[in-house]
Amino acid sequence: MKRDVSYMSGAGNLFTVLDADELEPRLVAQNIERLCDARSAIGRRTEGVLLVATGGDRLRVSFFNPDGSSGMMCGNGARCAVRYALDRGSIAPSDALTIALADTQYTARIVGDTIAIEFPPPRTIERNITLDVGGCTLCGDYLDVGSDHVVFASDRLADTLAACGRTLDFLWLAPRIRFHERFPRGTNVNMYRWEGATIVLVTYERGVEAITGACGTGALATAVAAWLRGETNSTTIGIVPPSGERLDVEIVAEGGAIARLILAGPAREIGRATVELTETV
């Protein structure tokens, strides 16, 4: 069977996007390799697949990692799903657009080329957790923002590793943290540093098993971790991922507690293709 797909970029986080009427979720996992292989169209593989269904002012989105896993929130994927539906006239611009993804309802706002998704406060925040990795005891913060993340400041991480006689090699370190026994579901791994008032962030994503061009939930988790550490007084934090396309995280606090989070940034279509898929019984 042949299916038309769109390739979308959410701040450099790349996705293959299909209309949910065109493909059942079970077929996505069966064809995940073909769906993510966008090299002939955009020169590289995508970092996930989105199935988008529309109805009135509501979107229903299913997200799949390149390994076929699903069930987690994807912040940039949600923003791309909104752009996909807007571009096709399936929805009208609205400040009250509802997105159902990973068994949770989110609200989207659309301002020009920028799409913002409103998140509830983190489900879990565990500060200063310790992990034994390669003979070193690392200290970071764990946050569940609809997807699991552990966050490390690069300077503190480098100092800890140096004391153990190691240099900081994120591509060596990240998979060992991602599969650490401390995280039964596995985790995404984030490392950040400040450049002026902006955070520069790299994220090793679970299910992709690589550093991605950007990670929306990683940006949320990192901004919250830095804010809780008192590293910034601002409630709007700019995040620059490897793609160089900036994301903004707004932390809305009420009574000293986080009430909600807002992830904003660009989302656009960067290519289209027709993909030949197969069905197995």
Whole-angstrom distance, CA of residue 155 vs CA of residue 171: 16
> Comparing 2-118+268-276 with 124-264, is the CATH topology the same?
yes
Average pLDDT estimate for 66-86: 96
Rounded to the nearest angstrom, the gap between the alpha carbon of residue 78 and the centroid of all alpha carbons in its chain is 9
Q: If we measure between CA atoms, which residue out of 27, 21, 90, 22 comes closest to residue 56? A: 90
Whole-angstrom distance, CA of residue 124 vs CA of residue 156: 23
- One CATH from 3.10.310.10, 2.40.30.10, 1.10.3720.10, 3.40.50.970 for 2-118+268-276: 3.10.310.10
Q: At residue 107, does pLDDT exceed 70?
A: yes
Q: Can you spell out the DSSP letters for 197-227?
A: TEEEEEEEETTTTEE-S--HHHHHHHHHHHH
| pLDDT given at position 52 | 96
- At 64, the amino acid letter reads F
| pLDDT given at position 281 | 65
pLDDT digits (tens, 9 = 90+) for 220-251: 999 999 999 999 999 999 999 999 999 999 99
- Domain 124-264: give its CATH superfamily: Diaminopimelate Epimerase; Chain A, domain 1 (3.10.310.10)
Q: How much is the pTM?
A: 0.96
Residue matched to tokens 């769109």: 6
Whole-angstrom distance, CA of residue 260 vs CA of residue 253: 7
Q: If we measure between CA atoms, which residue out of 265, 176, 193, 263 comes closest to residue 221? A: 263
DSSP annotation of 5: E
Q: At residue 56, does pLDDT exceed 90?
A: no
pLDDT digits (tens, 9 = 90+) for 30-54: 999 999 999 999 999 999 999 999 8
Average pLDDT estimate for 19-29: 87
| pLDDT given at position 170 | 98
| pLDDT given at position 236 | 97
| pLDDT given at position 21 | 84
| 3 state SS for 113-161 | CEEEEEECCCCEEEEEEEEEECCEEEEEEEEECCCEEEEEEHHHHHHHH
Whole-angstrom distance, CA of residue 65 vs CA of residue 171: 19
DSSP annotation of 22: G
Report domain extents, the chain. 2-118+268-276, 124-264
Confidence of residue 23 (pLDDT cuts 50, 70, 90): confident
Q: At residue 101, does pLDDT exceed 90?
A: yes
| pLDDT given at position 115 | 95
Confidence of residue 195 (pLDDT cuts 50, 70, 90): very high
- CA dihedral (150, 188, 191, 270) in degrees, to 10, reads -150
